A and B are shown apart, each in its own frame.
Chain A
Amino acid sequence: MPEKSAEALADEFARRRTPDIDPPGRPAGTLYRGHEGMWSWVLHRVTGVAIFFFLLVHVLDTALVRVSPEAYNAVIGTYQTPIMGLGEVALVAAIVFHALNGLRIILVDFWAGGTRHHKLMFWTVIVLWALLMLGFTPRHLMNVFSH
């Protein structure tokens, strides 16, 4: 141990006496801190599962046309609400991200430069996604709230 001045020692004691990091709320294990690659995968999985559940419902409601056109119309009619309109924004957001990031994953796997540029490609996906959503959302919401 190097020799310390009285001040340094006092400092150190003060620091040691400060309460340690609060034990409650400590996670069972820390969250793995991945970068763009990991978070794009998480988003891809979340949007993928969300789209799956949408498709499940979509196949069922479309199949109603075989029961009777009236039943189909009745069910589709219940979708014409602002809440469903907002849901559609979320749906389009999920699909657009999943589609663009899907192209990115194909490039990572099969284009020779894919693994080198995967971060740049991720941020390109995000920018493209934002641009497409900026185009779609106002127009769609005007439709939803003006009817």
Chain B
Amino acid sequence: MADHVAEAPVPTIESFTVTLIIRRFDPEVDEEPRWVDYDVEMYATDRILDALHKIKWEVDGSLTFRRSCAHGICGSDAMRINGRNRLACKTLIKDLDISQPIYVEAIKGLPLEKDLVVDMEPFFESYRQIQPFLQASSKPEKERIQSVAERERFDDTTKCILCAACTSSCPVFWTDGQYFGPAAIVNAHRFIFDSRDEAANVRLDILNDKEGVWRCRTTFNCTEACPRGIQVTQAIAEVKQAMIRGKV
């Protein structure tokens, strides 16, 4: 009987039982976060976000996490997967070692609210402080002209999606919540080196603070965590150098 079934040439895509161990926390019940195991059937091309959906929709509806676009551009679902900050929607099962359980937990250094959701307010507060908007005194007739080379200068840092993967991978940020953090500096870099902007010195002054760029210890965790591939430590180093030279 079993042989008969096995011989039938049905081309099925191989699926795997993957164990996820999720660090859960319900502020109304738990005093401390606890690790909970889930076994889910997954395909190699599935993402961690699909596993979380499967658990939430089929096993335990109380599992709480953020996601919006599910395609790596909204920046909602940064979380720590096997000890590294990743977007759940960009982490494929095939890229993980599924012979071992996969540990999933909230990003570190921001107040934990529930399960995989943290309070992002301190993160956005730092972002607001570096004045992330174009500041120019003149009003051009049509558009503000910029050469290809001038645009290229800050191209890398325009890619930020504010997911907080970098900032919450930074050991300095974990222990010193006052530090601006990589994401705020990346977004300052985006305007400091924009030829159309006139407030570079204001931002350099803000980041020359005790809790500014000089807190960076170049651990490169931010660069390795960035789901957009931004060379974060490089951007921070460029801001440091601009400060020392006193010009952009």
Measured CB to CB, the residues of A under 8 A from B are: 1-3, 5-7, 12, 15-16, 20-21, 23, 26, 28-38, 40-41, 44, 105, 108-110, 114-116, 118
Contacts and interface: CB of A to CB of B under 8 A. Distances in A.
Interface stretch (B45-53, B130-138, B194-202, B217-225): B217-225
A108 B19 contact: no
Interface stretch (B2-10, B70-78, B115-123, B183-191): B2-10
Contact of A3 (B1, B12, B241): B12
Interface in B198-248: 217-221, 223-224, 231, 233-234, 237, 240-241, 244
Interface residues of B, number: 42
Nearest to A45: B217
A116 B39 CA distance: 40
A110 B33 CA distance: 42
A108 to B, nearest CB: 5
A41 to B, nearest CB: 4
Given A16-B39, A31-B83, A37-B221, 6 more contacts: A1-B41, A7-B6, A16-B17, A32-B169, A108-B237, A115-B220
A64 B15 CA distance: 73
B6 A41 contact: no
Interface of B: 1-2, 5-6, 10, 12-13, 15, 17, 19, 21, 23, 32-33, 35, 37, 39, 41, 80, 82-84, 101, 103, 105, 108, 169, 171, 217-221, 223-224, 231, 233-234, 237, 240-241, 244
Contact of B5 (A1, A5, A36, A116): A5
A20 B20 CA distance: 11
Given A30-B103, A115-B233, A118-B220, A6 B5 contact: yes
Contacts of B224: 34-35, 37
Contacts of A109: 218, 237, 240-241
